[in-house]
Chain A
Amino acid sequence: EAGVAQSPRYKIIEKRQSVAFWCNPISGHATLYWYQQILGQGPKLLIQFQNNGVVDDSQLPKDRFSAERLKGVDSTLKIQPAKLEDSAVYLCASSLIPGGTLNGYTFGSGTRLTVV
């Protein structure tokens, strides 16, 4: 099966600019996650969707970050305006059911964001 697709792979922007990331999960996967991975750290959950509804966005900095999954398939994550500390890899993951099956989640390759 095709994996989780993310684009772009890399993005460099200046602080205070806006940026958007796109994720296409594995077909049929109802649950979608966005994680932020800062260099040298483990991934941290930003938001979890179940179909097109938000399950958990408690760690999402809502003053600047937003995410949507309007049709319950693709998702976009937006940062507006970006700060230097937003430099990280943004990972999208999907799973068939919440919490993943026994095999956990399937991760995409991520989008590496550099804010200068």
Chain B
Amino acid sequence: GEDVEQSLFLSVREGDSSVINCTYTDSSSTYLYWYKQEPGAGLQLLTYIFSNMDMKQDQRLTVLLNKKDKHLSLRIADTQTGDSAIYFCAERKNAGNMLTFGGGTRLMVKP
């Protein structure tokens, strides 16, 4: 199976909170990342969390990490139409230091 898994699609109303979930398999991953990709654009780093942290907050973004369950989530507060995009989680493994990406979650924000 895939190393990093995400649900395909999430739809929310403007102003609501969005929660995008991700599971990974490599317990030795040191950093976990969330990237945003808008149509026709490259990947933009949103935030990251070190594996010894449980939570990180950055303005409207909150990252929660459950290392025991290898579960990562991204919460976007007060979701706006400009947040509509595909969100990728990625793990950085110790071996090779490369980033391995999930398949992406398409977030649709309805006005």
Seen from chain A, the residues whose Cβ lies within 8 Å of a Cβ on chain B are 4, 33, 40-45, 48, 55-56, 91, 93, 98-100, 102-110
CB–CB A55/B96 < 8 A: yes
Asked if B97 lies at the interface with its beta carbon under 8 angstroms from chain A, I say yes
Nearest opposing residue in chain B for A106, CB measure: B45
Residue of A44, A103, A108, A109 touching B101 (CB-CB under 8 A): A44
Asked if B64 lies at the interface with its beta carbon under 8 angstroms from chain A, I say no
B38 to chain A, nearest CB (A): 10
CB–CB A43/B101 < 8 A: yes
A39 to chain B, nearest CB (A): 11
Residue of B4, B92, B102 touching A100 (CB-CB under 8 A): B92
Residue of A40, A104, A108, A110 touching B90 (CB-CB under 8 A): A104
Measured CA separation A55–B104 after assembly (Å): 26
Residue of B42, B92, B102, B103 touching A108 (CB-CB under 8 A): B42
Task: Report how many A-B pairs have Cβ atoms within 8 Å.
Answer: 60
CB–CB B98/A99 < 8 A: yes
8 A-B residue pairings within 8 Å (CB atoms) = A40-B103, A45-B98, A45-B100, A48-B96, A100-B97, A104-B31, A104-B90, A109-B40
Known: A102-B48, A104-B48. A42 touches B101 (CB 8 A): yes
Seen from chain B, the residues whose Cβ lies within 8 Å of a Cβ on chain A are 4, 31, 33, 35, 40-45, 48, 88, 90, 92, 96-104
Instruction: Write out the residue numbers on chain B whose beta carbons fall within 8 Å of the beta carbon of A99.
Output: 92, 96-99
Instruction: Write out the residue numbers on chain B whose beta carbons fall within 8 Å of the beta carbon of A109.
Output: 40-42
Interface core residue of A4, A44, A48, A107 (most chain B CB under 10 Å): A107
CB–CB A104/B45 < 8 A: yes
Instruction: Write out the residue numbers on chain B whose beta carbons fall within 8 Å of the beta carbon of A91.
Output: 42-43
Nearest opposing residue in chain B for A98, CB measure: B97
Known: A104-B48, A109-B41. A41 touches B97 (CB 8 A): no
A sample of 19 more A-B contacts (CB under 8 A), given A33-B98, A40-B104, A93-B43, is A41-B104, A42-B88, A42-B90, A43-B88, A45-B99, A48-B98, A56-B98, A98-B97, A99-B92, A99-B96, A99-B97, A99-B99, A102-B31, A104-B33, A104-B35, A104-B45, A104-B48, A106-B45, A108-B42
